[in-house]
């Protein structure tokens, strides 16, 4: 019989090393025998384990949003370039048309 809560917790937990040797040890409950039921099938615990590549939630969230942000920035600059090009082209076309109208003696366009 366990004498205190720490001894009870020590009896229920087992230390299982991670697949990657770079991270600390992972604690798992006893009784799972290394297998867990996931989506109706027995799956080995190592297959479900997150191998500790990104332990920080916010770092993982930033890496998942980075491609979207990058594509959005590229899209912004492409659309901005198209709009600037169109505005400049219209201005130059209006200037050429005004010069042509003046050369022919026609009144300026309103």
pLDDT band at 60 (very low <50, low <70, confident <90, very high): confident
Residue with tokens 């169109």: 86
107: Cβ contacts below 8 Å, ≥ 6 apart: 101
- C-alpha to C-alpha distance for 46 and 36, rounded to whole angstroms: 10
Q: What is d(CA 16, CA 49) in angstroms, rounded to the nearest whole number?
A: 11
- Evaluate if residue 84 carries a pLDDT over 70: yes
pLDDT top residue among 93 and 12: 93
Higher local confidence (pLDDT), 99 or 24: 99
Whether 68 shows a pLDDT value over 60: the answer reads yes
Count of CA atoms in the C-beta half-sphere (13 A) of 43: 10
Distance CA 94, CA 86 (A): 12
Higher pLDDT, 4 or 42: 4
pTM: 0.46
């Amino acid at each position: 019989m366990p004498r205190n809560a720490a001894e009870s917790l020590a009896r229920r937990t087992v230390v299982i090393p991670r697949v990657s040797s770079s991270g600390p040890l992972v604690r798992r409950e006893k009784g799972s025998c290394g297998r867990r039921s996931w989506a109706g099938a027995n799956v080995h615990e190592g297959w479900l384990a997150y191998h500790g590549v990104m332990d920080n939630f916010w770092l993982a969230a930033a890496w998942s949003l980075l491609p979207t942000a990058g594509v959005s920035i590229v899209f912004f600059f492409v659309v901005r370039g198209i709009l600037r090009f169109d505005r400049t082209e219209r201005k130059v076309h209006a200037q050429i048309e005004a010069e042509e109208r003046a050369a022919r003696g026609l009144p300026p366009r309103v």
